[in-house]
Amino acid sequence: MTNDLDGRITSLLRAGGPPKRDPGFRIALLERRERRRFQKQMLSIVFAALLVIAIVWGGYLAGARVAEVASVALLCVALASALFYLPVVAEILFRRTGRARPSPRR
């Protein structure tokens, strides 16, 4: 009687347990996350490029000299690249030095 009850309890517990791990599902999930991240990054880059083009075109229509428009475009590209790549560079440096990342101040 006790063995029968133990067997039924064991089978019920196993039936309600977590499903077996599926490597195909994990790969598909990681791929979907990476695609989403890539799409967001590409959207940011396209937006930044369109912004630079708009600034250059506006300077050209306003009658600015080529050197002035080029310097504004260069400044925009430098700021955009700093926004995109400074967090990545900081993360790499913190990993190499083994220091903890500083917490943001509030």
Q: For every residue of 58-94, which 3-state class applies, written as one string?
A: HHHHCCCCHHHHHHHHHHHHHHHHHHHHHHHHHHHHH
Query: What is the helix (H) or strand (E) element at residue 55, kind and residue range?
Result: helix 23-61
Question: pLDDT tens across 16-34, in order?
Answer: 666 677 788 888 889 999 9
Count: domains in the chain: 1
Q: pLDDT by residue (tens digit) across 74-84?
A: 888 888 788 87
State the residue range of the domain holding 48: 19-97
Please give the C-alpha separations between residue 56 and each of 14, 71, 81, in angstroms, as whole numbers. Answer: 66, 10, 17
Q: Can you give the pTM of this predicted structure?
A: 0.49
- Residue 106 domain-assigned (yes or no): no
CA distance 52 to 35: 26
Is residue 1, in this structure, part of any structural domain at all? Answer: no
Q: Are 73 and 82 in contact (CB under 8 A)?
A: no
Instruction: Look at residue 39 and tell me if it is in a domain.
Output: yes
Per-residue pLDDT tens over the stretch 36-93 = 999 998 898 888 788 878 887 888 788 888 888 888 888 888 887 888 788 888 888 8
